[in-house]
Every structure is written in structure tokens, then in C-alpha cells.
């Protein structure tokens, strides 16, 4: 079997909850003694193959965001290993991570460099990004002057046009007006169709079913079920029903 | 571990310059006289100190400088010139320490939202301060030339070139210091406040308004351990003392040891805290 594109091996992450600012200051110099902690991920292991689309379901606070942040390289685990073989594009917080004083065009290059792309390659995709974002002459204006919709469009356009190996999508993604939303959905479908690995986070069972044949169910940082989407969703719903009954 | 910071900079050079330029724009844009604020503030500070000491207290018109070693006798330098040359590196140092500590907090969008080579944030903000510094140095050099000519001396001096020894060291030393202070300040606002509040004290404990060589005994040694003195005296070596940086070996060796210490500590602290930064910011 080919090498998986994403591997999580016994990944754990614990957030330390400092009692107050003094405790935080002290923690700079000495390790805090039995601090309150929040275990966001607990020995999470899975493999995702190239071209697979995987949904991630779970309640708020189940560790979904932490997991995605680790795949995108923003957050780091305390224990365990994460291997991601390829370019990751994240459709999570599209308006974040711009340098406000730089123009849209310069930000395209900045993002490209962060992802390890070469000048020549960025030049090639530059036009398609600008076209997709529908920014027109604004592309040479500082991002500071953009409306939030424009920033989102640029963020989205950059992420989908770099030909990612892994696309991380949050369903709660907002990308502005209806016509652009449709365009985005089409583009995401196109990317999935082209065989890109997709990680899809959602509360909406139907949309997960539509996109992903496989789903992972997280509860309180632990993988409860990992398998075909139908089965995963069934486990998820059964648990939810049982919770309701308890109340 | 040693290469992590270097690795983050690899291939990012052009972006660092671009980001540094934008840092400058961010700081000075929107003001009518824009970049001149970079000059107005230090100029006013210099004026105030000169006024307080030379006009107000009246006593200080000239400073007696005791360079170490046999080759120099004590000599006297116009107070304003002495202070001006020493305070120019101080402006950079002060900004580097205070702003350097805050930098990660103010640029948090690059840490918590996207994958970013975090240590380059310290480099490009430092670089933007270096641009301002170079601008001030040019003004100071203009004054030094004027001072020399008006005293009947030749306008240029070979020792001036030592600036290219001291200035990169100045930049690097405080960059390496920020590898420690910036992540720690990001963790704890108290640490940041601590740094900000000791800075004005540090100014008066450093040989900027006075000659740090002029002490004897233990105090003289203590002064050698303050790296700010190394730079204030270094700039004076270049532009006033006509003295090579290699002449006072004790000072040079102590500084070199501190530079290595600060660098190692910076690498250690950066690596220790880097992965926790997205969680606390």
C-alpha cells in the first residue's frame, strides 16, 4: 500500500489552564505542580490515504479544531507523531494571516512562500487567483482597504488555487454573497473530483455523507469510531439520543 | 535544535525585507510628516537631555573621558557631541528591547491562524527598526563631520569604518535577546511589563550620559558587563575616540561571552516555547 498522506500516531494534546496570571508567569520558570488541564486530544491515531475524503464529526469541544490546527501546522502535539506529506490548504479562517499593509498581490506571494512554493510557480497561479477572487484593480491595493468579503474571497482563492495535496474545510465557512458561495462550493467539488485528499468538519450529517465515504467521530478528544460514514453517523446519533434520554 | 531558527529563515529572505518595509509603513503612515517622526522624537529627546544637563544644571559642558590603557590620557569632549553619539545606539536598543518583547503579541495573526516561520517575525520587525537606526546614523554622521571640520580636523577618519563592525553586532545581539524575551512576553504580560518598566532605569545605569570607563574598582568591572556600554562606547570608538575595537580586549572578550550566552539562551528559550505559543496567544 502506498504511503498515507496524513498519519497521526498516538497524538495527545493537553492545554494547561493557569489559575491566574501569576501562575502563568511562574510557569515560565518552573513547571507548575498538578495544574488544571484540559486534554483536548487523547492518543489519537489514524491514517488517511492519498485521495481519500474524510469527515470529522463530534460535538463542540471534542477536539476537532485542535486536530485541524495540527494538520495545518499551526498547533503542535505534546506527545505522538504527526506526518503530513504534502501541501495543506485550509479553508478555516480565511480573513486571518494577511499582512494588512501589503497589497493583495504581495500577500499571494507571502502565502506562497510560507507554503514553500517557488517564485515561478506562484507567478503561474497568480492570475487565476486574482481572477477567482474577483478583486480586479484592488489586487494592488493594501489588504487593509479590503472589505471582509474581499479578504475572504482572496483567502479562499489562494488556498484553492495552490493545487493542495490536502484540503481542510470547515463547513461553517462563510464566504460572502450567494453567487460566490456557489462558486466556492463548485470549486471544492472540483478539487475533490480531482482526487485531492479532503478533511471535512461539519455538524451537518447530510453534507458529510454527500462528500465523504469515511468519517471519524471524536468525543472528548478520543476517537470513538472510525469507519464508513453511515456507521460513524449512526454511532454519533445513538450517543446523542442516549444523552437526551438521560436528561 | 540549533538550526531551527536558521531553517525558518531559509528561502524567506525576500519576504523578510518586504515585511520589514511594511512594518515601517504601518508605523509611520497616516501622519502628515510621516517618516520624519522617526527623527523628531529622538531629536527632541536629545534636545531635552542637552538642555537639562548643559543649560539647566549648567555643570556639564564637557565630559572627561578616561580610555583604558596607556595609549590614551584623559581628554575632554564637548558634552553634546559625546551624548549624541552614544544615544543613537541607545534609541535602537530601547526600541529593540521594548518592541521586541511585544512583537509576537502584536503579530499574533501569524502565529495562531496560519503556519508561519515565527522567528522571522522577530527578524523583520528588527530589520524595520534597523532602517530607522541607519537613517539616524546618517544624520549623526553629518553632525560628526560638521563637528570635526569646525574644530579644524579632517572630516573623515578610517576608524569610522568600524561602524560596519558594531552595527551588525548591535542588530544581532538584540535579535538574539528577543528570541528569549518575545516568547516569554507572549506567555506572560507581566514579563512584558517588567521589561518595559526597567528600561528607563537601564538608561541611567548605562554609560550614555556619562563615561562608563570613568569608574574604578568593582564599579568599573560592573560597567563592562553591561552590553549597552559596549555599543555606546563602540560608536564613540568609531566617531570620537579614534580607537580600534580590538584595543580594549577585556571589554571585547566580556561582550563576546555575553553574545554567545544570549544567543544560546535565545535558541533554548525559543525552542522551548515555540510550540506552546499558538496555545497562549
According to DSSP, residue A2 is labeled P
Q: How far apart are CA A78 and CA A12, in angstroms?
A: 6
Among A23, A70, A81, A99, most B C-beta atoms within 10 A, so best to mutate, is A99
pLDDT the model gives residue B260: 95
- Number of neighbours of residue A184 by Cβ within 10 angstroms: 22
Residue B70 binned pLDDT confidence (cut-offs 50, 70, 90) = very low
CA–CA gap between residue B255 and residue A199 (Å, rounded): 52
Bridge partners of B129? none
Least confident residue range of A20-29, A69-78, B74-83, B99-108: A20-29
Chain A residues near residue B26 by CB distance under 8 angstroms: 100-101
Give me the residue from B114, B117, B188 closest to A25, CB to CB.
B188
Helix residue ranges per DSSP H, chain A: 21-27, 64-72, 104-114, 119-133, 148-161, 178-193, 205-211, 229-246
Measured between beta carbons, which residues in chain B are less than 8 angstroms from residue A22?
190
**Would you list the domain boundaries of chain B?**
4-280
What does the alpha-carbon distance between residue A216 and residue A201 come to, in Å, rounded to a whole number? 10
What is the pLDDT averaged over residues B70-98? Answer: 84
* B:8-47 residues touching chain A, CB 8 A cutoff: 11-12, 14-15, 18-19, 22-23, 25-26, 29
Contact at CB, B116 and A114, closer than 8 angstroms: yes
Residues in B touching A116 (Cβ below 8 Å): 11
Can you list the pairs that B51-56 forms with residues at least 24 positions away whose Cβ atoms lie under 8 Å?
A: B53/B79, B53/B83, B53/B209, B54/B79, B54/B80
Q: What is the mean pLDDT of residues B125-153?
A: 91
Cα→Cα distances A37→A110, A132, A154, B71, B187, Å:
36, 44, 38, 64, 17
Please tell me the distance from the alpha carbon of residue A111 to that of residue A93, in angstroms, as a whole number: 14
What would the grid cell of residue A9 be?
Answer: 500516531
Tell me if A219 sits within 8 A of A67, measured CB to CB.
no
Measured distance CA(A244)–CA(A232) in Å, rounded: 19
Using an 8 Å CB-CB cutoff, list chain A residues near B25. Answer: 101
Helix (H) or strand (E) holding A247: none
CB of B275 less than 8 A from some CB of A: yes
- Best CA proximity match to A35, nearest among A57, A53, A20: A20
B74-107 burial: b if 16+ Cβ within 10 Å, else e: eeebebbbbbbbbbbbbbbbbbbbbbbbbbbbeb
CB of A143 within 8 A of CB of A99? yes
Interface of chain A toward chain B, CB-CB under 8 angstroms: 15, 21-22, 24-25, 27-28, 69, 72-76, 88, 90, 93, 96-102, 106, 109-111, 113-114, 116
The more confident residue out of B79 and A31 is B79
Search chain A and give the residue with CA nearest B16.
A110
pLDDT by position in tens, chain A (length 247): 578 888 888 888 888 787 777 777 777 777 777 777 777 888 888 888 888 888 888 888 788 888 888 888 888 888 888 888 888 887 777 777 788 878 888 888 888 877 777 788 888 888 888 888 888 888 888 888 888 888 888 888 888 888 888 888 876 666 667 787 788 878 888 888 887 888 888 777 777 887 788 888 888 888 888 888 778 878 888 887 887 777 6
Backbone φ and ψ for A215, nearest 5 degrees, come out as -140, 150
pLDDT digits (tens, 9 = 90+) for B252-265: 999 999 999 999 99
- Which grid cell is A160? 484553492
Q: What is the pLDDT of residues B22-59, one digit of tens each?
A: 788 777 766 666 677 888 888 899 899 888 888 887 76
Please provide the average confidence, as pLDDT, over all residues in chain B. Answer: 85
C-alpha to C-alpha distance for A144 and A133, rounded to whole angstroms: 16
Nearest CB partner across the interface for B278, out of A75, A101, A102: A75
Provide the shortest C-alpha distance from residue A67 to chain B (in Å): 13
d(Cα A71, Cα A44) in Å, to the nearest integer?
13
CA–CA distance, A133 with A153 (Å, rounded to integer): 5
User: Residue A11 CA to chain centroid, in angstroms?
Assistant: 17
Determine whether A82 is exposed, middle or buried from the number of CB atoms within 10 Å of its CB (0-12, 13-18, 19+).
Answer: middle
pTM summary value? 0.82
Cell of B265: 539562551
d(CA B102, CA B271): 18
Burial of B257 (0-12, 13-18, 19+ CB in 10 A): exposed
Amino acid at each position: 500500500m502506498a504511503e498515507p498522506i496524513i498519519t497521526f500516531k498516538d497524538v495527545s494534546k493537553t492545554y494547561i489552564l493557569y489559575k491566574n496570571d501569576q501562575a502563568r508567569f511562574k510557569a515560565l520558570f518552573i513547571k507548575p505542580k498538578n495544574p488544571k488541564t484540559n486534554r483536548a486530544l487523547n492518543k489519537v491515531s489514524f491514517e488517511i490515504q492519498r485521495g481519500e475524503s474524510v469527515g470529522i464529526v463530534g460535538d463542540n469541544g471534542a477536539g476537532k479544531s485542535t486536530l485541524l490546527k495540527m494538520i495545518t501546522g499551526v498547533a503542535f502535539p505534546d506527545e505522538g507523531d504527526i506526518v503530513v506529506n504534502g501541501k495543506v490548504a485550509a479553508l478555516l479562517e480565511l480573513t486571518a494571516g494577511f499582512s494588512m499593509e501589503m497589497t493583495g498581490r504581495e500577500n499571494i506571494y507571502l502565502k506562497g512562500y510560507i507554503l514553500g512554493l517557488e517564485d515561478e510557480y506562484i507567478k503561474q497561479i497568480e492570475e487565476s487567483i486574482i481572477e477567482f477572487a474577483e478583486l480586479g484593480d484592488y489586487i494592488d491595493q493594501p489588504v487593509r482597504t479590503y472589505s471582509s468579503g474581499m479578504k475572504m474571497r482572496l483567502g479562499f482563492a489562494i488556498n484553492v488555487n495552490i493545487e493542495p495535496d490536502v484540503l481542510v474545510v470547515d463547513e461553517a465557512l462563510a464566504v460572502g454573497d450567494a453567487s460566490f458561495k456557489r462558486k466556492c462550493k463548485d470549486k471544492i467539488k472540483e478539487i475533490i473530483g480531482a482526487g485531492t485528499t479532503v478533511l471535512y468538519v461539519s455538524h451537518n450529517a447530510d453534507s458529510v455523507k454527500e462528500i465523504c465515504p469515511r468519517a471519524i467521530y471524536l468525543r472528548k478528544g478520543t476517537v470513538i469510531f472510525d469507519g464508513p460514514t453511515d456507521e460513524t453517523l449512526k454511532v454519533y446519533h445513538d450517543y446523542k439520543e442516549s444523552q437526551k434520554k438521560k436528561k | 535544535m540549533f538550526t531551527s531558527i536558521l531553517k525558518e529563515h531559509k528561502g524567506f529572505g525576500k519576504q523578510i525585507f518586504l515585511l520589514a518595509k511594511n512594518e515601517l509603513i504601518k508605523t509611520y503612515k497616516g501622519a502628515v510628516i510621516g517618516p520624519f517622526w522617526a527623527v523628531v522624537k529622538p531629536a527632541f529627546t536629545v534636545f531635552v537631555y542637552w538642555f537639562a544637563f548643559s543649560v539647566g544644571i549648567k555643570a556639564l559642558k564637557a565630559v572627561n573621558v578616561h580610555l583604558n590603557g596607556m595609549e590614551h590620557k584623559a581628554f575632554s569632549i564637548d558634552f553634546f557631541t559625546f551624548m549624541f553619539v552614544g544615544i543613537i545606539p541607545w534609541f535602537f536598543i530601547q526600541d529593540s528591547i521594548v518592541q521586541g518583547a511585544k512583537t509576537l503579541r502584536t503579530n499574533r495573526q501569524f502565529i495562531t491562524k496560519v503556519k508561519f516561520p515565527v522567528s522571522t517575525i522577530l527578524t523583520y520587525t528588527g530589520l524595520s527598526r534597523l532602517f530607522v537606526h541607519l537613517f539616524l546614523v546618517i544624520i549623526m554622521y553629518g553632525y560628526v563631520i560638521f563637528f570635526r571640520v569646525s574644530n579644524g580636523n579632517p572630516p573623515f577618519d578610517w576608524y569610522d569604518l568600524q561602524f560596519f563592525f558594531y552595527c551588525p553586532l548591535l542588530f544581532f545581539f538584540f535579535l538574539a535577546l528577543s528570541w528569549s524575551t518575545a516568547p516569554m512576553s507572549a506567555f506572560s504580560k507581566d514579563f512584558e511589563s517588567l521589561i518595559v518598566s526597567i528600561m528607563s532605569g537601564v538608561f541611567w545605569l548605562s554609560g550614555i550620559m556619562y563615561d562608563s570607563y570613568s569608574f574604578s574598582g568593582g564599579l568599573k568591572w560592573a560597567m563592562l558587563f553591561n552590553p549597552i556600554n559596549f555599543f555606546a562606547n563602540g560608536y564613540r570608538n568609531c566617531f570620537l575616540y579614534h580607537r580600534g575595537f580590538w584595543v580594549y580586549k577585556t571589554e571585547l572578550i566580556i561582550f563576546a561571552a555575553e553574545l554567545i550566552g544570549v544567543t544560546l539562551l535565545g535558541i533554548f528559550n525559543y525552542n522551548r516555547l515555540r510550540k506552546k505559543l499558538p496555545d497562549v496567544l
